Amino acid sequence: MSVVSRAACVLLLGLLWASVSPSPSSSPSRVRIPPHDQVARVARFIAHQCDWASMATISTHKPVVGQPFSNAFSVSDGPPGSSSGVPYMYLTRMEISVQDLEVNPAASLSMSLAQTDYCRQQGYDPQSPLCAHLILSGSVAEVNGTEAEFAKKALFSRHPEMIDWPSDHNWFFAKFNITQVWVLDYFGGVKTVTPEEYFQASPYRKHH
């Protein structure tokens, strides 16, 4: 093989590698879900894997006052590899769901592995229980001080665009205070874990 053709092949191999190497957020090698019987670990895994969530609130907006309302928000429970289990959010009171929360902070967050490449790669339909998803019940509250510092690190590391969001929106950091954890990750219906079990669990595989 000539030097030129070898160089061309090396370049092609490099491009090929770059193109098949998935981004960190969608890497199949990183998406190794814990065993389904370790429910709290599965919950922590999903919470750390997903970088956005659907939040349900009780609407305060006409014509649906008092009705449920579903909306999407970026979340982070920590920088990649540093999971706290607490979903942090970067919110503004200009936002419709946040206005709901000011009247009634009760909310529910759902995150599904359908949001990652996992279910597509495994061939699991988004509604299949094997396409694991997590539902958190609780409420949303502003955080301050050192917790706000952690929230900032958690969010801005995974959502770098946030740094440049318009300052006149009066963004603040908030946490989802978890009161109940619901997990759909296998056949046989929903399973629940307590917040204590959830926070004690490790989302990562143990290395031997």
Q: Give the footprint of a second copy on this chain (CB under 8 A).
A: 1-2, 4-6, 8-9, 12-13, 15-16, 19-20, 23, 25-26, 51-59, 63-64, 67-74, 90, 94, 96, 106-110, 112, 114-115, 120, 123-128, 133, 135, 137, 159, 161-162, 179-180, 182, 189-190
Query: Which residue lies nearer to a second copy by CB, 129 or 202?
Result: 129
Query: Which residue lies nearer to a second copy by CB, 38 or 128?
Result: 128
For residue 64, count other CB atoms closer than 10 A to its CB: 11
Closest approach of a second copy to the CB of residue 41, in Å: 20
8 A C-beta contact, residue 142 and residue 98: no
Closest approach of a second copy to the CB of residue 146, in Å: 24
- The three-class DSSP label of residue 176 is strand
Contacts of residue 26, defined as CB under 8 A and 6 or more positions apart, other chains included, come to 116, 117
Query: Which residue lies nearer to a second copy by CB, 109 or 154?
Result: 109
Closest approach of a second copy to the CB of residue 167, in Å: 14
- Omega of the bond prior to 63 within 30 degrees of 0, cis? yes
8 A C-beta contact, residue 174 and residue 102: no
Closest approach of a second copy to the CB of residue 78, in Å: 17
For residue 91, count other CB atoms closer than 10 A to its CB: 20
Residue indicated by tokens 């299949």:
128
- Angle, alpha carbons 118-121-123 (nearest 5°): 105
Closest approach of a second copy to the CB of residue 54, in Å: 3
Query: Which residue lies nearer to a second copy by CB, 40 or 50?
Result: 50
- Cα separation of 36 and 121, whole Å? 18
Query: Which residue lies nearer to a second copy by CB, 145 or 166?
Result: 166
